Structure 1
Amino acid sequence: MNVTVNVNGKPYTRDVEPRMLLVHFLRDELALTGTHVGCDTSQCGACTVHLGGDAIKSCTVLAVQADGLDVTTIEGIGTAADLHPLQAGFWAEHGLQCGFCTPGMIMASAELLRHNPSPSEEEIRYHLEGNYCRCTGYHNIVKAVQHAAGAMSAAQGQRQEQAADD
């Protein structure tokens, strides 16, 4: 079955098995291995990506269901030269140890910050309940999200000041 998916701003068309999961499409067909396969049961959140702007667990969606939609993976939100504020926050606050859960945590957190740019610690913890980390105990992950929220808020304030000056 042919599917066309716009991944990280680039269209891809592939002939896939109707039962192929989106996570396997991303990893096996497109070689975007930042999206991890952790449990295949939607429990761990390591496969979290954005589909049509919403965070989803890509092990629960068939590739054919993404036909015609936009997908954003961890590879699409920042670069080594220009980290997304969440990536920078995880770096600055030591929000990772082994790093396996990190892409899913960042993608889930990006959705949270899109809807709530200044979440409380409790709201961050609640939003990340669907993402499992075996290493960190979540304390530094929460700090990383708070760090990113602060950086994004400061950047927004600078843009507003600059627009007022123009």
Structure 2
Amino acid sequence: MPSARQHTYETEVVWTGNLGTGTDSYRSYRRTHDVTAAGPPPIAGSADPHFRGDADRWNPEQLLLAALSQCHMLSYLHVCAMAGVVVTAYTDHAIGTMDETGGGAGHFTSAVLRPRVEVASASMTDEARALHHEAQRLCFIAASVNFPVTHEPSVTVRPTP
């Protein structure tokens, strides 16, 4: 029986890339698929273009990196709100590295989050920078991966009008 603190998530992935002959050869099908869940709009997915995917669709590697970035941001905004640090803007330019290991396998070896945070007052900058460590500790996704997730944050102060 699940505990009161256990959460379950459901998604559906439907392959849309059958060009009429299924997977009768490596080049005979597209890697396109739709990712859905109850509520949000569908995500158009594919493989990375290096693996015969479509560049105009999200690939699983991008989605993993986006999940890390989103989770850190949400944890960070929470810890800032609890600490009285007023964040007025947040942007992250994350980079993940995946190594192919042969035989079609591979794995992520690292992710670097580069959050650019704007705070309401200069007196908040040091604490705003330090709170990334607590956000990392709280991030469910970062705690679930087996590769290092590091941060290179910058903090600026909102210009006065």
Higher fraction of strand: 2
Taking structure 2 as the reference length, what is the TM-score of the superposition? 0.29
- Higher RCO structure (Cα 8 Å, ≥6 apart): 1
Higher fraction of helix: 1
Taking structure 1 as the reference length, what is the TM-score of the superposition? 0.28
Query: Looking at CA atoms only, which structure, 1 or 2, has the larger radius of gyration?
Result: 2
